[in-house]
Amino acid sequence: MNKKPFVTKEQLDEITAKFPTPYHLYDEKGIRDNAKAVKEAFAWNKGYREYFAVKACPNPTLIQIMKEYGCGCDCSSLTELMLSQAMGCKGSDIMFSSNATPAEEYQYAAKLGAIINLDDITHIDFLEKAIGYIPETISCRYNPGGLFKISNDIMDNPGDAKYGMTTEQLFEAFKILKAKGAKKFGIHAFLASNTVTNEYYPMLAKVLFEVAVKLEKETGADIEFINLSGGVGIPYKPDQEPNDIRAIGEGVRKVYEEVLVPAGMGDVALYTEMGRFMTGPYGCLVTKAIHEKHTYKEYIGCDACAVNLMRPAMYGAYHHITVMGKEDQPCDHKYDITGSLCENNDKFAIDRMLPKIDMGDYLVIHDTGAHGYAMGYNYNGKLKSAEILLKEDGSFEMIRRAETPRDYFATLDCFPIYNKIFE
C-alpha cells in the first residue's frame, strides 16, 4: 500500500529551484480542513477549545492558521510562552503544561495570565513562592497509574510515566488549592501516545469525568474545564485506518451525557491539546538522493539526516517514503535510506522496499508535520532546514529560513574565535 503525497514532482521542481533540499513542506489546505473538522467534532460542547501543542510544530505561520479556527496554544517552556505572547495570545488563550518547571517560567506564565497546569502536588508551594499567590483558575495533571488498556490491548503505561499526580494527591491538591484561594479548577491527563483508535478519547473522558464528579462532591471545588490533552494519533503506516475525529467527538459526547450531565456538571468545558493530529499528516520532509552505496546492504544517502527528522533514529519510528515520479513503479529494491551523521542509527528506513532510486530523485518522507522540524538538533554541526508552506492556491512561501553557519556559531559571538571563523 502507498500514501499519496500532497505535492507533485512538478511542484517540487519549482520549490527546489528557489529553496534547495532538504526542507519541511506543509499543506495549508490540509491543516485548515483538519482544524475545521476538529472544531465541528466538539461543537456540541459550549466551552470547547483546542489548545495546539506548540512543541509539535512551533511555527508562527501554522499556529496563526489554527488561531483562525479558535485554537489556543498549549505551552511547555519559556520560549513557547514567548512565541504565543508575540502572536497575540494571552490569558485563557494559553495553557501552560510543564514539568520540573523553573520558577521564572511560572512567573512568565502568571504574567501572561495563562492557565497553569500543575504536574505535581509539590508544585503548589513552589508556584506560590515563585509568583506570590495561587491563581483563581488552576489545573492539575492526573495520572491514574497502572496500564491503560482498550479491550485487551495495552495502549500505554501511565504508571511508568513521570507526569501527573496520583489519585490521592489529586484530591489533596484540590483541597489545598481551594484553601489557598483557587476558585475555578481544571483536570488534565495524558494516558497514551499516538493512539490510532476512535475509542481512546471516549475512554479517557470517562476516567476523567468520573474523577471530576468525585472531586466536586468531596472537595467542593468548582470544576470549570476538563482537558483531554493529546494522544490522538495519525496513521504513519499506509495500512492503518486513520482516526475519525467526528466519531471521536461523538463518543466523548455520549460519555459526557452519561457521567457529567446527571451529576449536574453539564456546563463543564472540554479542552483538547493535540499536536500530532493537528499538523502531523500535513507536513513532509523533502530530501534528495545524493549517494548510493553497495556493500553488505544497499544504501541510499540523502541530503537530509536525523537533524531534520529525529523520530526514526530516536524511536525506530516508521515514516512512509515516496520516490517522486516513480509512484506507480514496482517496489522491487530493498534499501536502507540514510543521512550523513556519524551515527549508525541515522536511517530514515531500514530494509524498505522501494522503486529503484536514481541519484537526484526526490524522496518525500511523510507525516513530519509534528515532532519533525521541532525535534531537530545540531549534532555534527548540521544545520536545520527551511520550512515551506504550500498554499491553498498552489503557490508556496518560506515560513522559516534555513539555518546558516552564523546561526550555529552565534553563541560564540562574545569570543574572539567568532570573528576568526568568518574571516
- Residue 164 corresponds to which cell in the numbers above? 501527573
Q: What is the pLDDT of residue 423?
A: 81
- 57, 71, 89, 342: which one is catalytic? 342
Asked if residue 215 lies in contact with residue 223, where contact means CB atoms within 8 angstroms, the answer is yes
Per-residue pLDDT of 306-348, as tens digits, reads: 999 999 999 999 999 999 999 999 999 999 999 999 999 999 9
- Res. 149 pLDDT band, cuts 50 70 90: low
Q: Judge whether residue 161 has pLDDT over 90.
A: no
Q: What is the pLDDT of residue 176?
A: 98
Q: Judge whether residue 148 has pLDDT over 80.
A: no
Cite the beta strand spans of 28-88 per DSSP E. Answer: 49-53, 72-75
Q: Report, as an integer, the average pLDDT of 21-35.
A: 98
How far is it, in rounded angstroms, from Cα 333 to Cα 314? 25
Per-residue pLDDT of 97-112, as tens digits, reads: 999 999 999 999 999 9
Q: What is the pLDDT of residue 152?
A: 53
Q: Report, as an integer, the average pLDDT of 120-132.
A: 98
Taking the alpha carbons of 312, 318, 320, 321 in that order, is the dihedral positive or negative? positive
Per-residue pLDDT of 372-388, as tens digits, reads: 999 999 999 999 999 99
Q: Across all residues in the chain, what is the average pLDDT? A: 95
Q: Judge whether residue 1 has pLDDT over 90.
A: no
How far is it, in rounded angstroms, from Cα 105 to Cα 128? 13
Asked if residue 213 lies in contact with residue 163, where contact means CB atoms within 8 angstroms, the answer is no
| Sequence-distant (≥ 6) Cβ neighbours of residue 410 within 8 angstroms | none
Q: What is the pLDDT of residue 142?
A: 95
Percent of the chain with pLDDT over 90: 93
Q: Report, as an integer, the average pLDDT of 46-74.
A: 97
- Res. 150 pLDDT band, cuts 50 70 90: low
Per-residue pLDDT of 12-23, as tens digits, reads: 999 999 999 999
Catalytic residue status for 331: no
- Residue 7 corresponds to which cell in the numbers above? 505535492
Contacts 24+ apart (CB under 8 A), 311-314: 311/371, 311/372, 311/375, 312/345, 312/347, 312/348, 312/349, 313/343, 313/345, 313/346, 313/347, 314/375
Q: Rounded to an integer, what is the distance from CA 400 to the centroid of its chain?
A: 18
- Res. 33 pLDDT band, cuts 50 70 90: very high
Domains of the chain: 28-278 (3.20.20.10), 281-412 (2.40.37.10)
Per-residue pLDDT of 383-418, as tens digits, reads: 999 999 999 999 999 999 999 999 999 999 999 999
Taking the alpha carbons of 212, 38, 32, 284 in that order, is the dihedral positive or negative? positive
- Residue 292 corresponds to which cell in the numbers above? 548510493
How far is it, in rounded angstroms, from Cα 294 to Cα 176? 65
Q: What is the pLDDT of residue 112?
A: 97
Per-residue pLDDT of 250-278, as tens digits, reads: 999 999 999 999 999 999 999 999 999 99
How far is it, in rounded angstroms, from Cα 186 to Cα 184? 7
How far is it, in rounded angstroms, from Cα 251 to Cα 44? 12
How far is it, in rounded angstroms, from Cα 381 to Cα 409? 9
Q: What is the pLDDT of residue 155?
A: 55
Taking the alpha carbons of 252, 256, 259, 265 in that order, is the dihedral positive or negative? positive
Give this prediction's pTM. 0.95
Cα dihedral: 65, 34, 27, 318 (round 10): 130
- Res. 145 pLDDT band, cuts 50 70 90: confident
Candidates 251, 304, 332; CA nearest to 45 is 251
Per-residue pLDDT of 225-251, as tens digits, reads: 999 999 999 999 999 999 999 999 999
> Cis ω on the peptide bond leading into residue 22 (within 30° of 0)?
yes
